[in-house]
Amino acid sequence: MSSRRIQIFDTTLRDGEQSPGIALQPEEKAEIAEQLERLGVDVIEAGFAAASPGDFEGVRAVAAVARRATVASLCRTRREDLDAGAEALRDARRSRLHIFLATSPIHMQKKLRLTPDEVVAQAAWAVAYAHALADEVEFSCEDATRSDPSFVARVCREAIAAGADVVNLPDTVGFALPNEYAAFFDEVRALCPELESVTLSAHCHDDLGLAVANSLAAVEAGVEQVECTVNGIGERAGNAALEEIVMALRVRHDQLGVDTGIDPAEIGASSALVGRLTGYEVPPNKAIVGANAFAHEAGIHQDGLLKDATTYQIIEPKELGLAMTLPLGKHSGRHAFARACADAGLQLDEELLAQAFMRFKALADSGQHVSLDALFVDVTAA
């Protein structure tokens, strides 16, 4: 299958930082940004410059260290937001102002208290104003998936006419199903042919646990950019996880035919750094980067893995800077136990190994943590 290249827009430092309790300092944002560059992301959304003095300094710190990636700042359709974003991005090698404005009826009526015509006018004005302040302008229809596709198409048309380079149709509240999200892109594209002249982007939240699935559906629908965060951190239930999207595209290239510029070998280091600096520990069962992602306790699995790792692993963990483990527990089999003993330098005859394994199973069944050293003290003393 022939490949096409999509851009990875990383919003760990903006949407990810909006997770409750996270307040990254400028130097921490810069450190993560340098790792994101090693990872190979195309765009780093560094923050929301107008949100606070600290966020302004954070965006400026990222702009100063990024050597390859485009650096973006989020902005409302307000002059002060756009001016603050442009100033914070002044040192960026390539800058992007990311403007958002809601297009769903509930947001327009209840939050913005604007008419549809006023929303269109604000979008067009903001993009035109931003066009002279940055290298690139991205426009997002906030809550797009709960919006009328014909109205979204109208807003997109005006934003493109005003100079938008990227148009993002986000699933802001994680409402869409994958087939709906793909169909939404198809419908808006049909209603607004002008979208063919810009980069089309997807941005998904995980309220229903569908952020990655929806992002992949958008890729199949033809988007050229996917917005995501390391470890999937973000508002409420989080964003689409960068590492899951990238590895799904990589492992299932046969079906999706899409490449990214991400270096898989940097995924483990990126996850660890973000977890440490944000204080958001990675859940052990988290796909790709969780402690259990390449840990196999079941005896049947361990036996298969010891014969051929591809029996139960579709990803080579070393490719991500990670390692496979065969933890010993109540479900472990004799082969894995023998392997653990050998790795620990224990030379055992069959009789002693059998005794040790029976003792290990008895202890493991009781829920105790079993160390090999303690186990063999018990066995040899028996």
Is the domain of 271 the same as that of 305? no
pLDDT for residue 378 is more than 60: no
For residue 363, what pLDDT is reported?
77
Pairwise CA distance, residues 206 & 61, whole Å? 29
CA-angle at 34, arms to 46 and 224, nearest 5°: 60
Residues 5-16 have a mean pLDDT of 98
Tokens of 13: 């430092």
Q: Which residues contact 377 (CB under 8 A, 6 or more apart)?
A: none
Residues 270-283 have a mean pLDDT of 97
Residue 286: inside a domain, yes or no?
Answer: no
For residue 369, what pLDDT is reported?
65
pLDDT for residue 32 is more than 80: yes
For residue 375, what pLDDT is reported?
64
In 41-135 the beta strands, taken as DSSP E runs, fall at: 43-47, 70-75, 95-102
Residue 356: inside a domain, yes or no?
Answer: yes
For residue 306, what pLDDT is reported?
73
For residue 42, what pLDDT is reported?
98
Residue 53: inside a domain, yes or no?
Answer: yes
Q: What is the DSSP letter of 281?
A: P
Tokens of 182: 């793909």
3-state secondary structure of 109: helix
Q: What is the DSSP letter of 153?
A: H
For residue 293, what pLDDT is reported?
85
Pairwise CA distance, residues 243 & 196, whole Å? 28
Express each pLDDT in 332-377 by its tens digit: 777 778 877 887 777 778 887 788 888 877 777 777 666 666 565 5
For residue 295, what pLDDT is reported?
77
Listed range (201-205, 223-227, 283-287, 294-298) with the worst mean pLDDT: 294-298
Is the domain of 93 the same as that of 234? yes
Cβ distance 126 to 141 under 8 Å?
Answer: no
Is the domain of 77 the same as that of 184? yes
CA distance to 29, 33, 45, 182, 267, per residue, from 274 (Å): 10, 10, 15, 30, 11
Identify the band that residue 77 occupies on the pLDDT scale cut at 50, 70 and 90.
Answer: very high
Is the domain of 17 the same as that of 137? yes
Task: Give the number of other CB atoms < 10 A from CB of residue 15.
Answer: 24
Identify the band that residue 303 occupies on the pLDDT scale cut at 50, 70 and 90.
Answer: low
- Picking from 278, 313, 338, the residue at the C-terminal end of a domain is 278
- Picking from 226, 245, 278, the residue at the C-terminal end of a domain is 278
Pairwise CA distance, residues 156 & 158, whole Å? 5
294 or 129: whose pLDDT is higher? 129
Q: Determine the straight-line distance between the first and last CA of the chain, rounded to whole angstroms.
A: 62
Is the domain of 261 the same as that of 370? no
3-state secondary structure of 52: coil
Is the domain of 42 the same as that of 155? yes
Q: Which residues contact 185 (CB under 8 A, 6 or more apart)?
A: 169, 200, 202, 218, 221, 222, 223
pLDDT for residue 382 is more than 60: no
**DSSP sequence for 209-272:** S-HHHHHHHHHHTT-SEEEEBGGG--STT-B-BHHHHHHHHHHTHHHH-EE-S--GGGHHHHHH
57 or 362: whose pLDDT is higher? 57
3-state secondary structure of 276: helix
Is the domain of 104 the same as that of 222? yes
Listed range (224-228, 298-302, 328-332) with the worst mean pLDDT: 298-302
pLDDT above 70 as % of the chain: 93
For residue 304, what pLDDT is reported?
73
Residue 66: inside a domain, yes or no?
Answer: yes
Parent domain of 357: 299-381
Residues 318-338 have a mean pLDDT of 79
Phi and psi at residue 347, to the nearest 5°: -95, 110
Cβ distance 77 to 59 under 8 Å?
Answer: no
Residue 186: inside a domain, yes or no?
Answer: yes
Is the domain of 135 the same as that of 74? yes
CA-angle at 249, arms to 247 and 255, nearest 5°: 135
For residue 372, what pLDDT is reported?
64
Residue 288: inside a domain, yes or no?
Answer: no
For residue 271, the domain's CATH number is 3.20.20.70
Express each pLDDT in 231-242 by its tens digit: 999 999 999 999
Average pLDDT, the chain: 92
Is the domain of 173 the same as that of 313? no
Pairwise CA distance, residues 75 & 82, whole Å? 6
pLDDT above 90 as % of the chain: 76
Tokens 């419908």, located at residue: 187
Cβ distance 55 to 47 under 8 Å?
Answer: yes
- Maximum Cα–Cα distance across the chain: 85
User: CA nearest 58: which of 70, 69, 72?
Assistant: 72
Number of domains composing the chain = 2
Is the domain of 264 the same as that of 303? no
CA-angle at 339, arms to 336 and 344, nearest 5°: 130
Is the domain of 269 the same as that of 310? no
Is the domain of 178 the same as that of 324? no
Pairwise CA distance, residues 130 & 86, whole Å? 8
For residue 213, what pLDDT is reported?
98
Residue 198: inside a domain, yes or no?
Answer: yes
